[in-house]
Amino acid sequence: MGKLRASFYDVIVVGAGPAGATLAYELAKANIKVLLLEKAKLPRYKACAGGITVRTANLLAFDISSVIERVVYGARWSYKLDYKLTGFYERPIVYMVTRDKFDHLLTRRAQDAGAELLDNQKVVQLETRAGKVTVSTESHAFVTDVVVGADGANSVVARGLGLAKDFYYGVGLEAEVYVSKGDLSKWDSLMGLDLGTIPGGYGWLFPKEDRLSIGVTGHIRFNKKLRPYLKRLLESYNLENCQIKTFRGALMPVRKKGTPIVGDRGLLIGDAAGLIDAVTGEGIYCAVRSAQLAAAVIMKFLAGGLPDLQGYKKAIDDELMPELRVTRALAIFITLMSVGTPRLFFKLAPENEQVWRALCRIVRGEKTYVSVKQGLGRFQFLFDLLAR
């Protein structure tokens, strides 16, 4: 925790995850007086698979190699925990990190740029009056021109500003599993992915330096099926008797078209804004990119170049939402296929070299979901229908 120098800040960012830390970094670089508030003591554990895609790493202005624990070049797929195959790519697909170390690195970079950090402080109230926002924690009160919610699925800022009231929700359940060096070496450059067990959901295994992060995810309506699914997933990898240190769940909000994410004196970024890939549940790319888009708008607003913060919504709708709407359509399509002709679909998709390479290129940022949609030609309207 840094030493606080004031009670007024140009911008207060609530939440020191990838979205909040990135925004604080970008603003501090521009000599804007910014305070980063975090409810937990840093570094802290975060329920997350911990996969940083190559395209996400490329967004950041600094090197993250110090916190990368594994580099993944391929995936070991399974269908309903049984049918298995492995695909490799010639270049890195995902960098594996633990969120405590990764998030802490981002907050340190923000502090190095001049942002102030106050951790172990839960925001309990927001009050807007006379063009200013008072942000109260359990022991402090601060005043700001702009407040930003980077505080995740249960955003206190969203509630305080009356924003983001209508999301689709996914849910994930994760275990940190400590295994022998022999079991760990089997996943040296691979991640595990299980499809078809839950319609539209999947199971995953992400290797870290000293353990395996294993979890399952799906639509919130399948919430009660996730724990039994995770148990079966562990059994399928012969890991049910290993030491499980952490067992946590997380909500994954997905923004609908038109859901408000900007208020008079505040806005939402990252998971708080529902900016999550509906197919994979990955949100770190959008967390970082939404923070960068927000920074540009906030800087212009504070300088008097914009009358309000609505330019941020336009930036999100123009750049991120076209991609996220396609992921929403794909998630529905995959769910329908898993009910209709599941084994054929899940057998052909990973085995098809063209499909596998397209997936890798999307994750790396060399190809977009929108380009996949455009490749359907006259059938693009199906995506628009599903993504409503």
* CB 147, CB 156: distance < 8 Å: no
* CB 51, CB 96: distance < 8 Å: yes
* CB 301, CB 308: distance < 8 Å: yes
Total-model pTM: 0.91
DSSP string, 203-254: EEEEE-SSSEEEEEEEEGGGHHHHHHHHHHHHHHTT-TTSEEEEEEEEEEEE
Structure tokens belonging to residue 144: 């700001």
pLDDT in tens, 244-297: 877 788 899 999 888 999 999 999 999 999 999 988 889 999 999 999 999 999
pLDDT in tens, 50-103: 999 999 999 999 999 999 999 999 999 888 898 788 889 999 999 999 999 999
- Residue with structure tokens 């970082």? 288
Each residue of 298-336: b (16+ CB within 10 Å) or e?
Answer: bbebbeeeeeebebbbebbeeebbebbbbbbbbbbbbbe
* CB 270, CB 290: distance < 8 Å: yes
**All structural domains of the chain:** 8-46+99-167+259-322 (3.50.50.60), 67-93+168-254 (3.30.9.10), 325-386 (no CATH)
